[in-house]
A and B are shown apart, each in its own frame.
Chain A
Amino acid sequence: MNKLFKNNSEVNKSSPVKLSSHHLLAIEGMQKSEIQKLLDRADHFANLDKHANTKYLSGYVVLNVFFENSTRTRVSFELAARRLGAEVINISLINSSIKKGESLLDTASTLNAMKPDLLIVRHPHSGAPLLFAEYLSCSIINAGDGRHEHPTQALLDALTIKRRIGYLEGLKISICGDISNSRVARSNIHLLTTMGAEVRCVAPSTLMPSSLEKLGVKCFNDMKEGIKDTDVVMLLRLQNERMSGTENPSEREYFKFFGLDETKLSMASPNAVIMHPGPMNRGVEIASALADDTNRSLIKTQVEMGVAVRMSIIEALNYSKNKT
């Protein structure tokens, strides 16, 4: 057990977290104490045997509504909900309703009429889950909206770091890659700066969003400089269509300047760890051997922590809704 967890009372860990909202739409605006409690509770779930009885939410109905392809996030949410004893229905709306011309709100209100307790929404448009929250009565979790936020990813990343290093405050964390188009980057920036980490963003200038430093981070176009003495190197996925002469000249040029290899990693702190939200492009964002280096790569732990974090959130939203 690390030093930070010892400071927290066991009460925090053994009871659901009460949040100020019954939705989880974004990390931006969340209180440090709320994030802390969610992470503590998730840490508790992560320590439990996977067959431990955590079925606190029997009869709770979760709709997993995905307007965009996803395997790991959808499965992770489903597992989390099932471990809590909830009933889960997966709905893929990638083409169906949209092609039929139904508006998003009609789709939403149809789903709402089935009286779910929780809607987990992934949507290609920034802000779409906010629209759901505005019109629907059930709880909403944002499972990734456009380029805006992916709050559960940031929480699971934070838990992964805390379990490995022990704390977040004062850590140097470099987020590298396509910051412009990344919801993972935005949620991580908000969460890690709120928790007191020093966040640096490393990207080619074509993929660095305007005025990013106003979010409380330092920006670098030189990766070696950006990961110097850093404790965590967080890589982002670069989509293929951005690598053929649009934002980047080519895949091999990207790897040369922004792909993580041994040489660049040697600039970081000797114990620096590597993270990636997946799915990875080996040989583009990261040298294949580094991705598989179990001493340094936390990529598999991230996936594992996803379930625990999502359990703590689903439980918290149910608890917060009932208490308000």
Chain B
Amino acid sequence: MTNTIFKSIKLINPATNFNENVNVVIHNETIINISKDLNLEKFNKNNQTIIYNCEGLTMSPGIFDMRVNIGKTENLKFTQITAAENGITSMAILPNQTPKLNNPSIIDHIKRQSEDINLPKVMVYGAATKDVNSLEMSEIGLMSEMGAIGFTNGNKSIKNSLVMRRLMSYATMINRPIIQHAEDEDLSGLNQASTTSIKGEMNEGEISTRLGLIGIPACAEVIMIERDIRLAKLTGAHYHVAHVSTRDAVNVIREAKKSGLSVTCDTAPPYFSLNESKLLTYNTAFKLSPPLRSEDDRLAIIEGIQDGTIDAIASDHRARSKDTKAQPFSAASVGASGIETLFSLTLDLVHKKIIDINKAISFLTIYPAKILGIDRPSLEEEKVADFIVFDENEPHTIKQENLKTSPTPFDGKKIYGKILATYINGQVAFMNQIFKNKIIK
């Protein structure tokens, strides 16, 4: 096999705190050389070498997207291909799909089905309880042996306190985190068994009052987190809060971390980029769970990203068909696409000078890996060549018509930064024309 040389590229490698212009040589699935002065004769032995002129471009480890829903509009392979086109080289999928990922054989099946040397690696969360409303824990030990990386009920809360206590306690034996969608579903009106006549549709406040939509109070999130933190203290479990969206939640998690508990959390681009005022036209692309919150909550999420209270950024991808979204707001489905905009919206934090580029890449790579206890991706000699090449400053506009998944809540947003190529195991998983034109020989 030939060597591929990426000449004069800025290499960002958070695992070694590296950010310099270098030349990178890969051979088969391995990075064989990273150097400032390229020894062309050595690596261009039989004149078969491919060389890309990468001046002005950046290389970093590929994105690990720790929260992806595979919905009815997609199949796994489609999502993998779309993810690769957007810089994602590994992803973790939620158990609440059809069929449910609630037993070891299906975990094994998904892993085998998704094994493709040239596509993003798929990791799987097992269902925490046998069914969403069930009071029985699933076979989390056996699922763990099959490779499940954590346990969650996906987009539904683990609501029973005793069940949560037992899950946390059991999970400490197998050293896996319990991941919670933190929402008191009685309070938000989403537990239809216990409420009458209301079903939460958006954040509660002036805007829900104006629109005549049922509000979900912001405290529905923190109430669940406060309970869970006490259970984490009781059991010593690693507790992870998914898609944090409110100021109170950030504050409570910050305190829990200070007190030394094993508590982590992630957020997703809508919660640091948008607020509830987007709903004023009843646009169902903004119907999310948790709902878009107030501007003050959005600012708190940004503070949490800056001070490290928030550990990772995930796409929270939950694509929906156009048909289920072209409905009155109350009848429309919940969720939005995310894998196609995760990279550029995280980079938007860099362009807005909220965090630096090393930090932004960390939020998408080594931080989520650390939470889930998997190998931290690192671009060093002798390591596997899983990486992305991107232009940090390429301006473009997100347009729904150019995306493969829908709906995006970012239609029309002007952003900077574009993925040009994705390499998985040293193979090209995606490469656009701009990068193809960078070839020297």
A contact set with B: CB distance below 8 Å: 28, 103-105, 123-128, 130-131, 145-149, 183, 186, 209-212, 214-215, 241-242, 246
Q: Are B212 and A210 in contact, with the CB atoms below 8 A?
A: no
Bits for B324-349, please: 1 = Cβ < 8 Å to A, else 0: 00111111000000000000000000
Q: Are A211 and B211 in contact, with the CB atoms below 8 A?
A: no
- Answer whether residue B213 sits at the interface, using C-beta atoms and an 8 A cutoff: yes
Q: Are B282 and A183 in contact, with the CB atoms below 8 A?
A: no
**Min CB distance, A76 to chain B, in Å?**
22
Q: Are A130 and B281 in contact, with the CB atoms below 8 A?
A: yes
Given the contacts A104-B328, A130-B282, A214-B206, A149 and B323 also touching, CB distance less than 8 Å = no
Other-chain residue from A126, A183, A215 in contact with B328 (beta carbon distance below 8 A): A126
Q: Are B206 and A186 in contact, with the CB atoms below 8 A?
A: no
**Min CB distance, A129 to chain B, in Å?**
9
A81 to B383, CA, bound (A): 77
Q: Are B209 and A209 in contact, with the CB atoms below 8 A?
A: yes
Chain A residue at minimum C-beta to C-beta distance from B206? A211
By the criterion of a CB under 8 Å from any partner CB, how many residues of chain B are at the interface?
A: 23
Residues of chain B lying within 8 A (CB to CB) of residue A104: 327-328, 331
**Min CB distance, B339 to chain A, in Å?**
26
Q: Are A125 and B211 in contact, with the CB atoms below 8 A?
A: no
A38 to B185, CA, bound (A): 45
- Answer whether residue B210 sits at the interface, using C-beta atoms and an 8 A cutoff: yes
**CB within 8 Å of A: which B211-236 residues:** 211-215, 217
> How many pairs, one residue from A and one from B, have CB atoms within 8 Å of each other in the complex?
75
Q: Are B212 and A186 in contact, with the CB atoms below 8 A?
A: yes
Q: Are B328 and A123 in contact, with the CB atoms below 8 A?
A: yes
Other-chain residue from A131, A145, A183, A211 in contact with B209 (beta carbon distance below 8 A): A211
Other-chain residue from B204, B211, B217, B323 in contact with A148 (beta carbon distance below 8 A): B211
**Min CB distance, B259 to chain A, in Å?**
32
Given the contacts A126-B328, A210-B206, A211-B205, A146 and B197 also touching, CB distance less than 8 Å = no
Residues of chain B lying within 8 A (CB to CB) of residue A130: 281-282
- Answer whether residue B196 sits at the interface, using C-beta atoms and an 8 A cutoff: yes
Other-chain residue from A146, A211, A214, A242 in contact with B212 (beta carbon distance below 8 A): A146
Chain B residue at minimum C-beta to C-beta distance from A246? B196
Residues of chain A lying within 8 A (CB to CB) of residue B328: 104, 123, 125-128, 131, 146
Chain A residue at minimum C-beta to C-beta distance from B204? A210
- Answer whether residue B208 sits at the interface, using C-beta atoms and an 8 A cutoff: yes
A145 to B197, CA, bound (A): 16
